[in-house]
Amino acid sequence: MTYDDYNSFCACLPATSHVVQWGGAHVWKVGTKVFAIGGWDRGVEPRITFKVSDIAFEILKGEPGLRPAPYLASRGMKWIQHFEKPGLSDEDLKLYLAESHRIVARGLTKKMRRELGLDPA
């Protein structure tokens, strides 16, 4: 997945916003909460970081091309970084990005979810 593919996919998820911050990283948010980060490198393979469930964290953290996300995971947060091949296929990465969006959206207040159109009135 290229950064363009990553940005296009995240833009299709509901109630998202995009900002470039933290040294040029492409940060995607649902409401005010971050659900995906693309960047922090100049390497060939894009580095894409996303939030996961506790179980997914345990499964993914040791897979080739994946690792606990630097900075975030060291603070006890369940974030994974796709940083080199083989990593995840583009389709699997999209599934995890969508799940990250869902996990983060679920953590927003009911009022915020309603305002963003994520919960029916």
Domains and CATH numbers, the chain: 3-110 (3.90.1150.30)
What letter does residue 21 receive in the DSSP assignment?
Answer: E
Q: What is the pLDDT of residue 24?
A: 85
CA–CA distance, 20 with 49 (Å, rounded to integer) = 14
Q: What is the pLDDT of residue 42?
A: 64
Nearest CA among 63, 51, 49 for reference residue 99: 51
What is the biggest distance separating any 2 CA atoms in the chain, rounded to whole angstroms?
A: 45
Question: What does pTM read for this prediction?
Answer: 0.92
What letter does residue 75 receive in the DSSP assignment?
Answer: G
Q: Which two tokens stand for residue 21?
A: 């911050």
Cβ atoms of 14 and 117 within 8 Å: the answer is: yes
Q: What is the pLDDT of residue 83?
A: 92
Q: Kind and range of the H or E element at 30?
A: strand 25-30
Backbone angles phi, psi at 3, to 5 degrees: -65, -35
| pLDDT means over runs of 10, the chain (121 residues) | 94 96 91 91 80 96 94 86 94 98 96 90 60
